[in-house]
Structure 1
Amino acid sequence: MIEFLDGNEAIVRGAIDAGCKFFAGYPITPATPILLGMMQELPKVGGFAIQAEDEIASIGFCIGASMAGKKAMTATSGPGISLYSENIGLAIMGETPLVIVDVQRQGPATGSATKDGQGDIQFIRWGTSGGYPIIAISPTTVEECYTFTIYAFNLAEIFRVPVFLVSSKELSMTRQRIDWSKVEKPEIINRKYLPENASEYKPYYFEKIDDIPLFSPFGGEHIVRYTTSTHDEYGNLLTTPEKIQIMMEHLDKKISEEKVKKFFPHAVKFDPQDGAETLVISYGITARSTIEAVELARSQGVKVSNLIINLLWPVPENEIKKATQNIRRIIFPEMNNGQYVLEIERIVDKSKIEIVRINQMDTTLINPKKILSEILK
């Protein structure tokens, strides 16, 4: 079957197919079509979709629904992520599975509400107190909006953590021809529940520091304590420094590059060319321009490799290091003031590799010719 869909519609389709049963959101350009789509489609599969009074209530509803055993998702843009911030911390502390769609627009604050941008990349990772890990994946095409939404739910359920699906205005609101016979539909993975006949439940118990606690829902057979504070395996508040240290290390170590890649096999897309000393790195909507720029350069006899990053957080450091072997120059275009390029500069040896930034914040997409011009220099 062939359809014309935009990224927002594909995200709705992916959420439904992943088993999402609860959605709450507040209208905000350019994420509003996800709210409207979920309100239309979720009741058809026995789910619930709510337009909350604001963004704070939206993510709060989703946390409650998730802890009651439902797969939950919310969607917003940059200003909404700002309001989500405190509850994102709560979801991290309470080890709550949750999918958060960020359809980026030009910021900061209200910014250019109907224009594109990639300015939330660092904010998604570091936007809540404590600095503890989340997972963020970034589609490039409408097909990936569908497929990566399912992966986002899988990752949320496996790691009991907020997972960001990072889109942007042009990707989410531009229609594209979709041949469903060629679209990947990942296997659905659900969270691991404590057996109902278990005599005792420790909501936050783990043996190894990076284990994921088994789940039991609110209103079920077991007492479940949920708190914003540091807590022991029962959910009781902690004051013992040694035990607090172990709990904090658990939140940090349960998410790692290698563990996430086992369940998300699309961390990067690497298109190498033998003998190339120039590498273009990109993500999201900008990657579509880099693909065209690399093709144009190769048609002119220039050797250049291309790396698209789909797993933004945790950073796929090993793949980046492999891709930069024998490379002398990296070109990194992104529609912000230079955010993810900081991770590249941290990973590679800058004494041996020149890093060329292309930063554009005028709300227009980075033209492939602009990237080509840097490749040809």
Structure 2
Amino acid sequence: MASRTPTPDGGNRERLPNLFEVLSRRTLAPVDLFSFYIYMRDVQRSVDYLDFWLDVSQHMSLCRHYVRELRRSVLISTPELEKGAGSKRSSQVLDNYTLDRTSSDQGPSGTPGGNGAEKKERMSQDQRLSAFLRDERDVKHSPHTSHGSRSEDNTPGSEQPPRASFMTGTGTGSPSPLNNSNTISPQHTVARADIRASAEKVLYTFLLPGAEREIILPQGILNEITSAIEKEGRDDPEIFDSAKDYVFQAMERDAFPGFLRAKALGNIVQPSMLLRLILGLVSLFAAFWTAFILIFLDKNRATRCWVIWPFTFGVYFLASHQYMLDPVIALAGYSEYTFMNYHAVKEPFVR
């Protein structure tokens, strides 16, 4: 999905993580994204919402990768001797899109992580990214894409994308990235058609009525996204902002508190809880039945003392079920993520 993975910062956090940190892969087991995915799948039965979030984040990452490659093609395909005012202008336009961060820095409503000026700067970068992709699409579909005057729009830092004449190699006959949506350059791995396909995949998989993994969103949001993709031909990541914000708030309100209770304050999953409930009730029944039998048979106290074991097991299993916490597993430093499968507790605050 992303070109790099953010470093978990659990060692510097003296609290439980929030949903944004989990989705950003900044947490460790048992409150990491993998555990949250399993919780959404097995407990909430609404993993499609999380998959939608991840697919939209992947779409954002794809857009950033495309713009990075487009910027690199400007620097590589234009020889140093031919770099006049026009080629400098095209480089300056793409230099405005500093896209070295990954999609996991992306917060709800397109609000990235960070504080103060950094937040505003990163949000501005995301908005410029979407604006650039929209403008580039308009340039591609404009009849003047290849015939524009070199003298127009020479303002440095303009939001208009560079013209095709500035992005075609000299004497190589290679197609311009702006004129060919399928082939950017032999070294490029992301084409504009890939971005379009990614946006359509999100729409047809999660949003349209009757989709394979349809999620429930307000009708206004669905109409807005459908119109933007199918009628306006947009594929920039900004079109999914409202849906992404809605899904984030839904997961934060309905699923994440239960996830923290189950994984940060407990260490067993629901099948194990059910098994412990059954074993606890059976143990207590066996303990009482044995105790009464030994009393009626007038057994000595040394023999009756053995009844303490089924009572102990019964209380242990019922308490584990009630609090979703197995003390023995906790002391060993492990947590159960699927039935009878365990991983070590690595998040310092949880441990």
Q: TM-score, normalised by structure 2?
A: 0.22
- The structure where strand makes up a greater share of residues is 1
- Please identify the structure whose Cα radius of gyration is greater: 2
Whose RCO is larger (CA < 8 A, sep 6+)?
2
